[in-house]
Structure 1
Amino acid sequence: MTHAEAVEVVVCDLADLAVEEGRTYVVADEQVALFRMRDGSVHAVGAACPHRGGPIADGQCDEQVVWCPLHAFGFDLATGACVNGDLQLPRWDARVDDGRVVVTIPA
């Protein structure tokens, strides 16, 4: 993806995210759930479960998977793929830059 095809958005401070707990933000008109991992990395996935719209940020997660709190669909945080079904969460590139979380959204 070239720079002209994407926009980088500073979403929050890394300190605003608790380790292995989700938090939802609106990023360029997208509902995005952010998850901070123990190693300091951050994942950005769609905030609503594609099954029935469950709040993904409220789900339990570990270093790899977040579980929808409504019906226990699990989603790989690195890919957005469902680990126990045929569903898919959107995902975006996220990184930490000088203590701030930056998410890249296609333009």
Structure 2
Amino acid sequence: MKKHNFLDSFIYALHGFRDTFKSEYNFKVHLAAAIIALLLGFLLNISIGEWFCICLAICLVFAAELFNTAIESLADEVSSEVNPQIKKVKDAAAAAVLILSVFALICGVYIYVPKILAIEF
């Protein structure tokens, strides 16, 4: 078995990100939302604390989506048949993504809506 160096770990992680991006529609949706949130942050000149909240929310959603994809892929490999326990695991992982996505949305609304409403046209 080949011993992996420190750089290999980053390469494998990037492969995981790339593969998830290629195969998961929801990951692309989250990435688009993250890009919009970051652009809004620059346009609305948000504070350092607000940047922290936005970046934390983005990272949490990405991490949850990656974990969800990993769990679903492993579960599908273990059994292709309908299995109530596997369904329970997959549903729980999907629920984690949902919870963090709602959290990210709430953060965005809390930070951006007042700034957008304060813009004078």
Give the strand-richer structure, 1 or 2: 1
**Normalized against structure 2, the TM-score is what?**
0.23
Give the helix-richer structure, 1 or 2: 2
**Normalized against structure 1, the TM-score is what?**
0.24
